[in-house]
Chains A and B, each alone.
Chain A
Amino acid sequence: QVQVVQSGAEVKKPGASVKVSCQTSGYTFTDYYMHWLRQAPGQGFEWMGWINPNTGDTNYAQKFQGRVTVTRDTSINTVYMELSRLTSDDTAVYYCARDGGFDIWGQGTRVTVSS
């Protein structure tokens, strides 16, 4: 069956970077774009960007331009999201979600930014 499995929780210091992975299985990796979103504590969802796994083309929300990089490795059906220059405002659960209407979501990766 279709599965999307994310990497584990991270604790980072302000100013550092974090890289979260999202490994897929059960479908053709290059057939669906992959989105990245985040959910701050007690808040709703914020779309960060997406990647075309076939071409590697990306599109980022204006808010994160220059700070977020989404990449993929087609050999292991995995998408990555790296966020740099972290601040406490970046403390959140980060999700990948398959395009096709956000029908499949990863389990989420908690990123805590604290000195």
Chain B
Amino acid sequence: DVVMTQSPLSLPVTLGQPASISCRSSLSLVHSDGDTYVSWFQQRPGQSPRRLIYKVSNRDSGVPDRFSGSGSGTDFTLRISRVEAEDVGVYYCMQSTHWPPWTFGQGTKVEIK
């Protein structure tokens, strides 16, 4: 199974400041079709996950443009350009290249300082 490793696991951020979350995979996530299937999810307290980013850098409809995804191969990053109060929650990366199973990172908890 592909192991997804996130860092940091906890990220205190000042409102209006940027935040960055790293996700590394145990295998290259480039699919044989040429695409790379890495997604990012936000889970606010008490809610189910919401997909923010798919295929590394594509924002889902309705996701604010302060969220961006980047990376290639085994290293991926989610960035929040200016953290707002509503961004508090846990963020997960997930790979959909080598399945089954689909695997997730451990999660990064974003909180306001």
Chain A residues at the B interface, C-beta cutoff of 8 Å: 35, 44-45, 47, 50, 59, 61, 95, 97, 101-103, 105-108
Contact = CB atoms under 8 A, between A and B. Distances in A.
Contact of B39 (A35, A61, A102): A102
B106 A105 contact: no
B94 interface: yes
Contacts of B37: 101
B48 A107 contact: yes
A25 to B, nearest CB: 16
Residue among A59, A97, A101, A107 having the largest count of chain B Cβ atoms under 10 Å: A101
Interface stretch (B26-34, B78-86, B95-103): B95-103
A95 B105 contact: no
B51 interface: yes
A103 B51 contact: yes
Interface of B: 37, 39, 41, 48-51, 54-55, 60, 92, 94, 96, 100-107
Contacts of A107: 48
Nearest to A6: B48
15 contacts: A35-B102, A44-B92, A44-B104, A44-B107, A45-B49, A45-B94, A47-B103, A95-B49, A101-B37, A101-B39, A101-B96, A102-B39, A102-B49, A102-B96, A102-B102
Nearest to A107: B48
A108 B41 CA distance: 15
B31 to A, nearest CB: 13
B10 to A, nearest CB: 13
B48 A108 contact: yes
